[in-house]
Structure 1
Amino acid sequence: MTSPKLFIDVWSDFVCPFCYLQTPVLDQLRNAYGDAVEIRWHAFELRPEPTPLPNANSDALIDTWEKSVYPLATERGMTLRLPTVNPRSRKAFETAIFARESNRYDLVHRAIFKAYFEDGIDIGDTDALLDIAATCGIDPELLEESLAEGEFTDLVIEDEDFAKSIGVTGVPFAVLSREAAPGEEPPPPIALRGAAPVQHFEAAVERLFPDGFPG
């Protein structure tokens, strides 16, 4: 297996449609670079307690979907539906982190996004999360115990605290970086805000690897 040469850290929220719409772009990079790229997802709650939850039927939300979400979904070959519920996402993040223990993070991560934006499932509901995880091969009883105890709450908060320390105010937010070449300083990381197209990522890779990506 190739050692990672390019690191992409992505802060996102399961309730953000633009974060879900970023997944096919990251898939393209993973397909292009294989094991030479490591994509690391991080939590960023847009609606943590006690932030008021938005109205799922608000004109502003519907307008955003009509003007921005649906066109981008069409462009990226995805089918999203405006959810009828606006849940908090902390338990969903804890569920994904739990899945990492059994190497099923990517599977559960994708399944939670799909459940919310394609199937309209309330991913703030613990029973719903248990069902989603079970379809991915996760033991629902062990997960339920973990969620009840808040086993991974601190890791979610750590992700968010670090994001705030580097100035992340919205998601998706990606940081591309690389290890230093022998005897050299590493180039500064490159941040990409919003649902950036694959061309922006490729341009960042070219800046990080001016002599060509070795993957």
Structure 2
Amino acid sequence: MSPVVEIEIWTDVVCPWCYIGKRRMDSAVAAYPGDVTVTYRAYQLDPTPVREPQPLVDALAAKFGGPEQVTAMTSRVTDIAAADGLRLDFSRAVAANTFDTHRLIRWAGSHGRQAELLEAAHRAHFTDGVDLNSHDALAGLAAEMGLDAASARAYLASSDGADEVRAEFAAARELGVSSVPTFVLAGKYAVVGAQDSATLLAALEQVARREAAAA
């Protein structure tokens, strides 16, 4: 009997490659004949506070050398995402600091809905133009999946979960995670980047064989 493969995924909500990587790992897990557990870990590409809503393309242009460079970048990733069934609309996206979104994802995890809220947050940011800096907007995402919006809003208004999210940032540094998505299988095998589903499936199968042999 194959051992259960534990998968930890370091990810950030505003990372398009993380959204693509999640979809591809979902496909790999669906095709994998054994059992897995999947836990998402928090990572921040940019911890800079966002003081007021700003179009993402403007924020990217200021960081990466202007509108032309951003158009080339976003067009490429949009086409790749479309091939995986994801629609990205960078023209609607709003720049966001994701700390509170990570906190709420942890909260949803305590209700068994971590992956669902992460998926909803990705879609809200990249497709629907939702401002993830807004606690009301985040509580609305929780409500859409049947969780209590008032409880979500109260959680966000508190400091609950902040230390745990910071601990995951620290764990990423200790592991040497410097880009996302990073998939860590069985606590010791890392796969970096939004690899295709076949590659992720092969990695799962190989790790399962190694773990079974070691046992």
TM-score, normalised to structure 2, is 0.83
Alignment map for 1:11-160 (pairs within 5 Å): 11-33=10-32, 36-49=35-48, 56-57=57-58, 58=61, 59=67, 60-67=69-76, 69-82=77-90, 83-160=92-169
Identity of aligned residues (%): 28
**1:161-192: CA deviations, max 9, x gaps?**
000011111111111127xxxxxxxxxx3211
Alignment map for 1:182-201 (pairs within 5 Å): 189-201=188-200
State the distance in 2 between where 1:147 and 1:211 align.
Answer: 41
Q: Which runs of 5+ in 1 are unaligned?
A: 179-188
**1:125-182: CA deviations, max 9, x gaps?**
111101111111111211111111110011111111000011111111111127xxxx
State the distance in 1 between where 2:113 and 2:134 align.
Answer: 20
* Relative contact order, higher structure (CA 8 A, sep 6+): 2
Instruction: Report if aligned partners of 1:13, 1:43 keep a CA contact under 8 Å in 2.
Output: yes
**1:86-137: CA deviations, max 9, x gaps?**
1101111111111122212222221111111111111121111011111111
State the distance in 1 between where 2:174 and 2:196 align.
Answer: 25
After superposing the two structures, state which structure 1 stretch, 77-86 or 31-40, moved more: 31-40
Q: Which residue number corresponds to residue 64 of structure 2?
A: none
Letter in 2 for 1:115: A
Q: Which residue number corresponds to residue 7 of structure 1?
A: 6
Instruction: Report if aligned partners of 2:6, 2:186 keep a CA contact under 8 Å in 1.
Output: yes
Instruction: Report if aligned partners of 1:205, 1:213 keep a CA contact under 8 Å in 2.
Output: no
State the distance in 2 between where 1:206 and 1:111 align.
Answer: 29
Q: Which of these residues, 175, 188, 205, is aligned with residue 166 of structure 1? A: 175
SS at match of 1:22: helix
Instruction: Give how far 1:201 is off.
Output: 1.5
Instruction: Report if aligned partners of 1:4, 1:38 keep a CA contact under 8 Å in 2.
Output: no
SS at match of 1:42: strand
After superposing the two structures, state which structure 1 stretch, 100-109 or 26-35, moved more: 26-35
| Cα distance change of structure 1 residues 4 and 147 upon mapping to structure 2, 3 Å threshold | farther
Instruction: Give how far 1:55 is off.
Output: 5.7
TM-score, normalised to structure 1, is 0.83
| Cα distance change of structure 1 residues 151 and 7 upon mapping to structure 2, 3 Å threshold | same
State the distance in 1 between where 2:50 and 2:137 align.
Answer: 22
Letter in 2 for 1:48: P
